[in-house]
Amino acid sequence: MRRLKGEDNSFLAWESSVQPQHTIKAVVLDPARVSEPLSFDRLKTVVQGWVDRVEPMQWQLLSPRVGVGRPWWVSRPRIDLDHHVQRTTAPAPGGDEELAATIGDIFEVALDRDRPAWQLWYVDGLAGGRIALVLKIHHAVAVGSASLRLLEMLYSTDPETPLPQPRKIPLPDEKRPAAVVWWPWVLRHQIAALSRFPRIVTRTAKVTGVIRRRQKAGQPGYAEAFTAPAMAFNEPFSARRRFAYRCCDAAEIKRVAKAFGVTVNDVFLTLCGGALRGYLQEHDQLSDEPLTAVVPVSMRPAGSEAQWGNQVARWNVDLATHIADPVARLQAVAAATRTAREVQGERDAWLQHDWMEYWPLFWLYSRVLPILGARIKQRPMFSLIASNMRGPQQTLYLGGAPIEQLISSGPVVFPMGLNFTGWSYRDDMTICVLTCGDHVPDPYGIADRLPGVLAELSERAGSAGAGIVEDADRQAVSG
């Protein structure tokens, strides 16, 4: 058993019927190239083999008795394969758009909390006889570098690795501890939390002082809350999801970053902002005020023993969507992320994480404040979520079949009903767009513009001066 951290628990607390909090990790491959036929039934055997050796796939939520205390993960490897492994067929002709529509449908339904927190969908009907394996896994389990680790455990960099087999002797399910064991655990955690609280308050006061000193000195800070104009995707949303993705040349993104002396993450954010600007302009919704983004950035230390769950900071940055010139927009975004990095360095980096351990108080900040502020100011706290992750740089295989494409997306969280997620894999960065279908029924109106924005920057990069800033925020993360 392991107790959920406050940050992991937050994704459970934010979840509702219209706001499921799972992420998607999808791969595309040719089943004909697998070392043995990879039928839907054979996949179930593969999945049981995964469950037997990949710990997070065994985890099921154990709710606290009478609602007291934090949930725990309990190991339940004896899964119901008929529930966890599902099958669907993409519409003809089975291209990117049809697979994206299928993933959008998969996104809509929340995971069953009375079972381990994931499902795998076998999607056939793709062009050329290919299939997609779409893993839907709860945000509380893994994100960012933890998701990368998960993928590297499910798949292999060695084409000779055979398909996994289940254990001959099944692993036992873990049982709920007896009340005489459970209540002392809860009491110890509550006492420890209370003892740390005065220190949390002191650290908060120090950070407040840092913020005020920057303000008095006229130094910029994070993008301010409730300053961005309200867009359709900031309205309350239903469970209806629409999904799109497009591949961009990762080498070209790096070349643009080098030419302009910015980071890969700066270019990624500029692509997202430029594509959204074009979409809003076409629909007569473009504002002369910039939109803002919450940008998750990994805080997981190298070699950390906390291999699963969430450890992220959140930068609030200006996307400069009001700037028409793509290079000027890139420079504005780069200035915003430099400021965010500087502010993070001055502040107590772990303060927000520690506040999440006091969920009722953090809930007032993270959920009540955005809702009340939006009603009072008629503006969202922030416009959207945008995150990217440096994914596997080597080819991954399943039973000898190369993974041809990797697609990853995190969820939307009100009022940010638009999520951009980028994951690089080999020579491509696949950028995904997730929306509420009630407000943005065709996210390809945004996604289709991404390659064009990159082409504009590439053309201008030819005459730009050299100089590179290493991708210091390469660990910006998705769901």
Q: Is the pLDDT of residue 95 over 50?
A: yes
Quote the percentage of the chain above a pLDDT of 70: 94
Q: Which tens digit of pLDDT belongs to each residue from 126-135?
A: 999 999 999 9
Task: Please name the helix (run of DSSP H) or strand (run of DSSP E) that holds residue 127, with its range, or none.
Answer: none
Same fold for the pair 2-154 and 209-388+412-461 = yes
pTM over 0.85: yes
Q: What is the DSSP letter of 366?
A: I
Quote the percentage of the chain above a pLDDT of 90: 69
Calpha distance 392→409 (Å, rounded): 15
Give the pLDDT score at 291: 98
Give the pLDDT score at 437: 96
Q: Is the pLDDT of residue 476 over 70?
A: no
Q: Is the pLDDT of residue 478 over 60?
A: no
Selected from 3.40.50.920, 1.10.10.60, 3.30.559.10, 3.30.360.10, the CATH number assigned to the domain covering 2-154 reads: 3.30.559.10
Name the CATH architecture for the domain at 209-388+412-461. 2-Layer Sandwich (3.30)
Split at pLDDT 50, 70, 90, the class of 298 is confident
Give the pLDDT score at 301: 63
Domain ranges of the chain: 2-154, 209-388+412-461
Q: Is the pLDDT of residue 466 over 50?
A: no
Write down the mean pLDDT value for the chain.
90
What is the average pLDDT across 278-307? Answer: 85
Q: Which tens digit of pLDDT belongs to each residue from 232-284?
A: 999 999 999 999 999 999 999 999 999 999 999 999 999 999 999 999 999 99
